[in-house]
Amino acid sequence: MLLAVFVLILASVSWVYASFSLLGPKDLGVDYTHEDYLSALEKTGMQIEYEGMTGAELEEYKKDAEKKSINDYDFEFSDYQRKEFTLTAEESTALLNEIAPGFWWFDNLQVKVLPDGTMEGSSTADIKRLKTDLYSDVADDVPLPLPDSLNIYSKGRISVTNNQLSGDPEKFSLGAVSLPDKYLEDESVSVMEDYFPRIYTVVPGLEITSLTSNSDGEFVFDGVIPQKVSVTKK
């Protein structure tokens, strides 16, 4: 009997830990196509060049691209323009997954806007690369050891105004484990609002005047973004 209980506990712990990354992130039902990605690129106006590759050549290369650190490459951003556009959940998800998969810190990402304006996001976060690329100064302050990759899910009201994130989270999960409500209160949210912008302000000169949602379930962007991005190995 004791052996059976021990095996059950061990299996439960293994399942919870495996759900951090091995079982895949929560499916929000957002399926995108290559046409969604092309539509999103057209709306943003951005043109990407990686090691001299553009267009169809770059798209083919991206299919088997290995993960890389942004610290090993030079990024040149130019031709900044003011842009106002809306993106559907499919277009937003396509853009986030496809625009820089070799450097992006989130895999299998899905985002959507619910009818009440609440936003959902789900992905597998590359914790190891996030710690080295963006958060090396605070990585050692995390009180608990984290796996190299981690499934995350969030739900709540989020907006960006003048590059500053504002959040009112309803739920945040790491794998199968939901964070207790006490970690979703003002003090913890303010920490998130301080550190999360590093993910998008890594682009110098990016100005997000406003990022919200509308009643059609679309993400609404207003700001200044580079139209040309060139990436070369150092």
130 domain residue, yes or no: yes
Which range scores top for mean pLDDT: 15-19, 111-115, 130-134, 173-177? 111-115
Number of structural domains found in the chain: 1
User: What pLDDT is attached to residue 86?
Assistant: 98
150 domain residue, yes or no: yes
Q: Does residue 112 have a pLDDT over 60?
A: yes
Residue 144's nearest CA partner among 189, 179, 108, 185 is 179
Q: Any residues with CB less than 8 A from the CB of 193 and at least 6 apart, and which?
A: 164, 165, 166, 167
90 domain residue, yes or no: yes
For 150-175, b/e burial (b = at least 16 CB within 10 A) is bbbbbbbebbbeeeebebebeebbbb
And the tokens for 213?
A: 């949602």
The model's confidence at residue 144, banded by pLDDT at 50, 70 and 90, is low
4 domain residue, yes or no: no
What sign has the CA pseudo-torsion 17, 122, 125, 158? negative
H helix and E strand count, the chain:
7, 9
Q: How, if at all, do strands 219-233 and 47-50 pair?
A: parallel
Domain of 33 in residue numbering reads as: 25-233
Least confident of 28-32, 119-123, 166-170, 202-206: 166-170
The model's confidence at residue 184, banded by pLDDT at 50, 70 and 90, is low
163 domain residue, yes or no: yes
167 domain residue, yes or no: yes
Q: Give CA–CA dist 11/5, Å, rounded.
A: 10
Q: Give CA–CA dist 77/202, Å, rounded.
A: 11
189 domain residue, yes or no: yes
- Are the C-beta atoms of residues 103 and 68 closer than 8 Å to each other? yes
Mean pLDDT of 154-168: 91
Matching residue, tokens 């959902």:
120
Q: Give CA–CA dist 151/160, Å, rounded.
A: 24
Please indicate whether residue 40 or residue 188 has the higher confidence score (pLDDT).
40
Least confident of 53-67, 95-109, 178-192, 199-213: 178-192
Q: Give CA–CA dist 186/17, Å, rounded.
A: 28
- Are the C-beta atoms of residues 89 and 233 closer than 8 Å to each other? no
74 domain residue, yes or no: yes
The model's confidence at residue 54, banded by pLDDT at 50, 70 and 90, is very high
And the tokens for 3?
A: 């052996």
